Structure 1
Amino acid sequence: MSDIHGMDLFKPAFIGDIEVSNRVAMAPLTRSRAGMDGVHTPLAIDYYRQRASAGLIITEATNISRQGRGYAYTPGIYTDAQAEAWRGVTDAVHAEGGKIVVQLWHVGRVSHSSLQENGASPVAPSAIPAGGTVYTLAGNEAPSMPRALETAELPGLLEDYRRAARLAKAAGFDGVEVHAANGYLLDQFLRDSTNHRTDFYGGSVENRARFPIEVVTAVAEIWGAGRVGVRISPLSTAIGNTPLDSDPQATYGYFARQLGQLRLAYLHAVEGQLRDANGASALDFKALHEGFGGSYIANNGYNRDMAHAAVASGYADMVSFGRAFIGNPDLVERLRKDAPLHDAPQSAYYGGGAQGYTDFPAIGV
């Protein structure tokens, strides 16, 4: 790759109203190291500070409510104590010149009753059980049977998103990313495979997209649209063994166009299967970008040359890296120098303490 391409990937830009120092984003990475109360430990401050050279850090998925939780040891943003812990993280990232947004998460049906208040059933658009497993205090267990949300409950869910958005402001974030990907709640509403509702929120694509759009609109009213992004994954089935929508191009194309009318900061797309090879050719992601009309963050299996090409060609405004950021806190510098990357062992991904979390060395400047 020529130097001119290198300049593109490492050039400052505006992603919506967020000024970034380069086009390398840190993708959301669940690391399962918060307390069971959803409060981060000081280890998270070190972890995110070490990675502050990313143009934009998108935090690990962060629960908007107790009901929204589907895994043990994941952080929240629905109590003052959780927001205070996140404040230490945002202060550290800002002290290093970085930018950080929090990913707002409700898992929907991908949960277990042991993680819910008073052992309640998880909620979903429709009472269709998820496959796969979720991580509980007892280890990996099958998700519990969900109950279908009543239409009258949806305004309360919107309020949960609003509260989380306000607490994210109090915690000092630069913006928020609404998680509408990977088979979680908002994706469950979008897909006709998981949404069998007969009210205003089911049936046609306009109806299935209604609640996700209401959520994004509510969050944007608090933050300003230019500081709100949305993550989608039209082809991902890994989590919950979630079947694809019957027409992903049409469904996510409609969703992207509607989000575009809100003038959001960015659309962030997992191009293909989660934790699998890049699948950008299996769907017309360029059409989603064009329909959205704003900044586009590409994700999934990108290496240095692919990222250079995506940004230099205008295919993407930014490329997010996930696994590479686990073992390479200085990933931006390594990409700049075309230095070798450290492949973190999968055993380090989830749970535990500093080992495999904050002890990966930088190459030095």
Structure 2
Amino acid sequence: MMEPTAAVPADGSTARRIAPSRGPETARIARGTGKQWRLFNAALSHTPDFAYVFDLDGRFLYVNRALLELWRKPFAEAVGRDFFELGYPPELAARLQRQIAEVVATRGQVRDQTPFTDPDGTTRHYEYIFVPVLAEDGTVEAVAGSTRDITDRLRGEEELRTAAAALSRSNLELERFAAVASHDLQEPLRMVAGFLTLLEERCAGQLGADARSYIGRAMTGTTRMQALIANLLAYARLGEVGEAVAVDLGETFAAAIDNLTSRIAETRGTVTADALPTVRGDATRLLQLLQNLIGNALKFRAAMRPPVVHVSAERDGTGWVLAVRDNGIGIAPAHQERIFGAFQRAFTSGTYDGSGLGLAICKKIAESNGGWIRVASQEGTGTVFTVHLPALE
């Protein structure tokens, strides 16, 4: 018969003393048990995590090398003792012993975290788990546990929270600055536009062709500047992500078409869509994204044919890929990588108006809603913008 006396010591020797052999079978069991303990201890002695086993009263049956080094204790001073006897703070010791008793009573697991100060006075934070060790009949015969030092992880999480808070403050300050700058810049532009209009109206009979041309160019530049300032403000405000809700892209498409009715009529365009899914995102921003992409397709149309735009969607893993396809002038390969940057334009000849922020806004909206945007295009044939958005479920 085998008589247990202790758990596995740190030197790897057998933790249970075996009575003198009473026959070949007993000797074979003893040898096998000793080998199993040595393998068990060898596996756990070289992990940086703390590993241990308690008896049903919360006394240590086994302690691995990492925990013994933390305590600055030899194995013989740890085994057979509970947390109170090992000098843990009374409140912490009581909590740990209570959790061990809970595992024994419920046969469930316990997970928790705690700070702990080692003998050198250094305090670090640990997370641990206690689990039941069940006998063949289903009863709890011991409690096993492991503990991991999470100090660095918690420090990293705190640094991340601090950085996120600083970024949020920075974005708020940027938005406020953009709003103030927009107001302060729009006022003098409105004044310039007003005086140019008065000059054109009151002095029309005294102005030559060159003067009227100059006034027209000044008005065009003023209008472009006002649009640029408005787009800059809109771009800055994209940091505000609205609540993610169920967004019916079919309804979003209908709203975008309603907003673009005049432009569709002016360009004699045709805009159609397949049945579109419901996704999760910011409804207002997704309307802005779809309207920008359709508006771009109408703007960059081919000279010899009316624009045709089609919107479709396909399921892709955990999301939907929305495609906006047109038969426009296309985008040269050299420009396809940079068109999503702020103030980046594929055409600089002045043929097409715009601030160079439209696709940058689309990219920011897609990413803030947990997706992405890409482009595929062939010059003279057309362009396809694809946007990945999270599915509702």
Please report the TM-score for the alignment, with normalisation by the length of structure 2: 0.19
Per residue, is there more strand in 1 or in 2?
2
| Structure with more helix by fraction | 2
Q: Whose RCO is larger (CA < 8 A, sep 6+)? A: 1
